[in-house]
């Protein structure tokens, strides 16, 4: 088992490489097909430039402290438990992560990307009992599938601490959203890089907020974003599935 790293540190070269692997915006999870509500803002012309996209993305990052990023944090805590307790905690967390998503397209996207992410982490971190259990449960329909849970599971398994698990998940989400904005708005590649760099302090704020939150905070919604995600279902034309 990997040693327990100091807070905010990467425990080994293998853990670092696994983290870089799973935060790659080109990771084949299907994230390129999902704007997660951004497209509704594009069609209403509320997001139409690098500046308006940055404001939207930074708000999105902050609200993840109550859903996806929090799932990654709670997963990291569950992995530290004995196996049977960890399985029970992860099964509950998977169900909560699914049922607290009100917009149908977002639930479907979460399940689809969760399945893809499970297949990736089974390759990236082989022969780990909890990863094998979760991958089998999702594949056979006994669990819903959640990419944040899979991300937290894999990186905790290789020895990353909770803070780094949350930080890396937020960076992966931010990079994916930026790539979708580059082609969806569109904004240029250079503008996308500036938006990413601008997100660093926002990510750190979100990490700190996430670490303060617990199960009772899971599912607290940003109403405007949630409504936009619901409205996406009825758009007459769209580039993204959510």
pTM exceeds cut of 0.75: yes
Structure tokens at 28: 């084949």
Low-confidence stretches of the chain (pLDDT beneath 50): 1-6
Question: So what's the pLDDT on residue 236?
Answer: 79
Question: So what's the pLDDT on residue 7?
Answer: 60
Question: So what's the pLDDT on residue 238?
Answer: 79
Question: So what's the pLDDT on residue 1?
Answer: 42
Distance CA 131, CA 154 (A): 7
Contact 8, 161 (CB under 8 A): yes
Could you give all domains of the chain from N- to C-terminal order, each with its CATH number?
34-234 (1.10.4190.10)
Question: So what's the pLDDT on residue 235?
Answer: 78
Question: So what's the pLDDT on residue 9?
Answer: 66
Between the alpha carbon of residue 19 and those of residues 2, 16, 42, 155, the distances in Å are 14, 5, 31, 7
DSSP class of residue 195 equals H
Longest pairwise C-alpha distance within the chain: 52
At which residue do the structure tokens 């398994």 appear?
157
Closest CA to 210 of 176, 202, 27: 202
């Amino acid at each position: 088992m990997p040693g327990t790293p100091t807070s905010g540190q990467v425990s080994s070269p293998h853990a670092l490489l696994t983290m870089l692997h799973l935060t790659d915006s080109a990771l084949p999870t299907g994230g390129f097909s999902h704007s997660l509500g951004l497209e509704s803002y594009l069609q209403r012309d509320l997001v139409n430039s690098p500046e308006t996209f940055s404001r939207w993305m930074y708000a999105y990052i902050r609200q993840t402290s109550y859903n996806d990023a929090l799932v990654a944090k709670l997963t990291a805590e569950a992995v530290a438990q004995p196996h049977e307790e960890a399985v029970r905690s992860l099964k509950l967390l998977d169900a909560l992560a699914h049922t607290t998503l009100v917009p149908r397209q977002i639930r479907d996207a979460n399940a689809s990307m969760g399945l893809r992410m499970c297949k990736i982490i089974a390759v990236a971190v082989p022969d780990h009992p909890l990863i094998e259990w979760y991958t089998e449960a999702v594949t056979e329909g006994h669990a819903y599938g959640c990419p944040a849970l899979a991300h937290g599971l894999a990186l905790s398994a290789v020895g990353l601490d909770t803070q780094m698990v949350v930080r890396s998940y937020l960076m992966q989400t931010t990079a994916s959203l930026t790539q979708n904005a580059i082609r969806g708005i569109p904004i240029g590649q250079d503008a996308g890089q500036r938006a990413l760099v601008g997100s660093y302090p926002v990510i750190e704020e979100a990490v700190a907020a996430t670490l303060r939150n617990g199960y009772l905070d899971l599912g607290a919604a940003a109403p405007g974003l949630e409504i936009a995600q619901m409205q996406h279902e009825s758009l007459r034309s769209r580039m993204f599935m959510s």
